[in-house]
Amino acid sequence: MSPTQSRAVHEVSSKPLKWPESVEQFCSSLRDKYQAELAGPEGILVEVELVKARLERSSGKNQERELATPDWAERQLARGGLAEVLGAAGDCRRPRETQVIAVLGKAGQGKSRWAREVSRAWACGQLPQYDFVFYFPCHCLDRAKGDTYRLQDLLFCLGPQPQPVDEEVFRHILRRPDRVLLILDAFEGLEAQDGLLHSACGPVSTEPHSLRGLLAGLFQRKLLRGCTLLLTARPWGRLAQSLSKADVLFEVAGFSAEQAKTYVTRYLERAGATACRERALALLRGQPFLLSLSHSPTVCRAVCRLSEALLQLGDKAELPSTLTGLYVGLLGPATRDSPPEALAGLARLAWELGRRHRGTLQDSQFPSAAVRAWAVAKGLVQPVPGAPDVELAFSSFLLQCFLGAVWLALSTEIKDKELPQYLALTPRKKRPYDNWLEGVPRFLAGLLFQPHADCLGALAGPAAATVGARKQKVLSRYLKGLQPGTLRAGRLLELLHCAHEAADAAIWQHVVQGLPARLSFLGTRLTPPNTYVLCSALAAAGQDFSLDLRSTGIDPAGLGSLVGLSCVTHFRASLSDMVGLWESLQQRGETKLLRAVEEKFTIEPFKAKSPKDVEDLGNLVQIQRTRNSSEDTAGELPAVRDLKKLEFALGSVLGPQAFPKLVRILEAFSSLQHLDLDSLSENKIGDEGVEQLSATFPRLRALETLNLSQNSITDVGACKLAEALPSLAASLLRLSLYNNSICDMGAESLAHVLPDMVSLRVLEMWMPTIPFGVHEHLQQLDSRISLR
């Protein structure tokens, strides 16, 4: 029996044999509600992968927490299906303590679909560790009208399908809170979410609270203590601060290329067009940018909808090459029979709701009943699952962004001088635009710069040409005034996307020719579409580039396409990712690309901050050794051969453990000039480490700087070091032994060997263990000894 099965048997056995009838009826109604299948494309399920996530301090001045970007090879996938993921997360919980699980990801990545599938899995008996599952789309909580609420109001009345409070059921829930799962979907849209960890709330379940206080009581483990809180959210704004104390964090990975193809197949099966599968996939392959965008399930669904329509036009049909073109292709036909000003009215509504961080709307907010009927009929808005008929939502967040951009492009109410701020490339210091509708900048550039008749004109007719032309001039002047080399990596990528969507040769050339020769994306996420536009820009720039691709999460295919460009002459990437790329290219027999990658890859300078870094460095050396043994003329790997500076900073606990592994590979770095073993937290390699290091000196003939400060070295280590130093007599320029535990004997041994060190210029040797008088005497013997 597997651990999961064993756990499930134990949990089922702990469940009461007989529940009160009212409890049974309540659970049965919950299961019936969750088991109802979604109609249309919403019902297509292709399970997205979850990756274990963590938060880290940002590099900005505010030092707020943000979602970390792991290298591809270091991603930790959550194995198994829903039951296994939640079961494994539950294994980490403390007894009788509330557990908070957060699933994060950009809009359109499938978080809500995953959350609904959790409740469906429970209804189908796959999550026996829970007696009750409550699913709350957070917009349902935001529409709550009262001032105070009790816990039972939340469970029974504030969900998508309110029902009367049943006190017997509520008492049953309170007896076993550890068997309750609360799902808060789209948590970032909840007005009350900011500061939940700090809001005041008492521990009594029956006491009325504000909605903020009620949620704070759950998050602070005071209300329903012992339950499981599962929330999904975009990692937006200050939300990460609220999640800093979550027990488990996951990130939705989006579709792989294979999963996107699987979704296309299942979409066509539902549409009864299975025979068109190969033609549909050929359409998608014909537009590699759209294929990269299909990493997002929302975009993948939009591609399927347009492909279904295009397949009816015959073999000459093709998908557009931009995201703007995709949504123009979807909405263009819908506007042909629309009521007067319907598109403008809906676009204005999308923009105004987005400024308030909203995506749901009431009947009364539509310009007219005719506009509402048209929007529903064309699938632009749809009923919110479980909500009253009067509540609707845009069919996707990306569609709301597109409509918001349409409003900015058409509106005469937006002043021309204000338009550049909505590209969010150079935020204003006063009253900055928060870019919550994060897809607007790219759509706005596409709508205003692409040929009017095929883009904005196809939506709003020729009447919009004058307004569009004036706004295009404003944005053109702004974009041509930007200096791409001054933008941070994230904003540079956004500029590349805007330029790609604009499809304007002059804008594109200005952007790509302004790219600096050294481009660092360290810590910036390189998704498949980001990689695509970056590849296109580099190839069009007409100059050579050096790239830093560490901590970008770039996938192997993207890494291969970028570093394979002839204009990329040097690049850095994580060692673990590079080992994987090497092995992949060898298996596929791509010898030419493999040799090009080997010549371009560099690790200079290299700083080992974890045992994993030392292990990866060892793997790189092993690749060289394997390569040399199998190829007579292979020679050294340039990355190994050309490494000149190596820092070791693992600290006092991990340092002594990992240092012997580093010593075993040091001799492979024949050009090493600077070896720094000084760390703020002290590596403490000790006398044993110094003895191991000294044995490598005869093979480190290029070493110029050796920093052994603050490493707990005593006289024993100093004497070993003195014996080995003559091997470095011709190369060593600077030796630092600052703040070790060396006494008179060790200092004298080092001073004795100094006459042989003809190239040495400085020996830093201040020690708290050596009297000041001895220090002065040593300095008088040799002026190269520094006491600073």
What is the domain range of residue 416?
330-514
Q: How far apart are CA 453 and CA 463, in angstroms?
A: 11
Residues 186 and 270 placed together within one structural domain of the fold: no
Task: Please tell me which residue, 198 or 450, carries the higher pLDDT value.
Answer: 450
Residues 367 and 464 placed together within one structural domain of the fold: yes
The answer to whether 419 touches 471, Cβ cutoff 8 Å, is: yes
Is the pLDDT assigned to residue 198 strictly greater than 60? no
3-state secondary structure 28-88: HHHHHHHHCCCCHHHHCCCCCCEEECCEEECCCCCCCEEECCCCHHHCCECCCCHHHHHHH
Residues 242 and 290 placed together within one structural domain of the fold: no
Q: How far apart are CA 35 and CA 116, in angstroms?
A: 10
The answer to whether 390 touches 362, Cβ cutoff 8 Å, is: yes
Residues 75 and 221 placed together within one structural domain of the fold: yes
Q: How far is CA 336 from the centre of its chain?
A: 40
User: Tokens in use for 250?
Assistant: 């996951």
Q: Which of 514, 539, 554 corresponds to the end of one domain?
A: 514
Residues 265 and 358 placed together within one structural domain of the fold: no
Task: Please tell me which residue, 501 or 73, carries the higher pLDDT value.
Answer: 501
Other Cβ atoms within 10 Å of 496 Cβ, number = 24
Residue 688: which residues within 8 A CB-CB, separation 6 or more? 656, 717
Q: How far apart are CA 323 and CA 302, in angstroms?
A: 10
pLDDT tens-digit map of 70-106: 899 888 888 766 677 787 777 667 777 899 999 998 8
- Whether residue 68 is contained in a domain is answered as yes
**Predicted confidence band of residue 330 (pLDDT cuts 50, 70, 90):** very high
What is the reported pTM? 0.90
Q: How many domains does the chain have?
A: 4
- Whether residue 293 is contained in a domain is answered as yes
Q: How far apart are CA 383 and CA 379, in angstroms?
A: 10
Least-confidence region, from 58-62, 296-300, 652-656: 58-62
pLDDT of amino acid 668: 94
Q: What is the DSSP letter of 149?
A: B
- Whether residue 14 is contained in a domain is answered as no
Q: How far apart are CA 517 and CA 485, in angstroms?
A: 9
Q: CATH number of the domain at 754, please.
A: 3.80.10.10
Is the pLDDT assigned to residue 189 strictly greater than 80? no
- Whether residue 39 is contained in a domain is answered as yes
User: Tokens in use for 532?
Assistant: 């695509």
- Whether residue 524 is contained in a domain is answered as no
Q: CATH number of the domain at 33, please.
A: 3.40.50.300
Residues 220 and 338 placed together within one structural domain of the fold: no
Is the pLDDT assigned to residue 633 strictly greater than 50? no
Least-confidence region, from 48-57, 341-350, 476-485: 48-57
pLDDT of amino acid 733: 97
**Predicted confidence band of residue 193 (pLDDT cuts 50, 70, 90):** low
Residues 147 and 226 placed together within one structural domain of the fold: yes
Tally: H helices and E strands in the chain: 33, 21
Residues 244 and 286 placed together within one structural domain of the fold: no
Long-range contacts of 71-74 (CB under 8 A, 24+ apart): 71/550, 71/551, 71/552, 71/553, 71/573, 71/574, 71/576, 71/577, 72/553, 72/554, 72/555, 72/556, 72/559, 72/574, 72/577, 72/580, 73/574, 73/576, 73/577, 73/579, 73/580, 74/574, 74/576, 74/612
Q: Which of 252, 268, 292 corresponds to the end of one domain?
A: 252
- Whether residue 13 is contained in a domain is answered as no
Is the pLDDT assigned to residue 3 strictly greater than 60? no
pLDDT tens-digit map of 650-704: 998 999 999 999 999 999 999 999 999 997 778 899 999 999 999 999 999 999 9
Residues 620 and 665 placed together within one structural domain of the fold: yes
Q: Is 769 exposed, middle or buried (0-12, 13-18, 19+ CB in 10 A)?
A: middle
Residues 765 and 636 placed together within one structural domain of the fold: yes
- Whether residue 168 is contained in a domain is answered as yes
Q: Which of 478, 498, 514 corresponds to the end of one domain?
A: 514
pLDDT of amino acid 4: 46
- Whether residue 195 is contained in a domain is answered as no
**Predicted confidence band of residue 9 (pLDDT cuts 50, 70, 90):** very low
Is the pLDDT assigned to residue 17 strictly greater than 70? no
- Cα distance from N-terminal residue to C-terminal residue, the chain: 66
pLDDT of amino acid 192: 55
Look-up of token digits 């990355």: 639
The rounded radius of gyration (Å) of the Cα atoms in the chain is 31
pLDDT of amino acid 240: 64
Residues 297 and 395 placed together within one structural domain of the fold: no
Residues 300 and 393 placed together within one structural domain of the fold: no
Residue type, position 408, single letter: L
pLDDT tens-digit map of 703-717: 999 999 999 999 999
Other Cβ atoms within 10 Å of 477 Cβ, number = 10
Residue 279: which residues within 8 A CB-CB, separation 6 or more? 311, 315
Look-up of token digits 């917009």: 139
Beta strands in 655-761 (DSSP E): 674-676, 705-707, 734-736
pLDDT tens-digit map of 649-665: 999 899 999 999 999 99
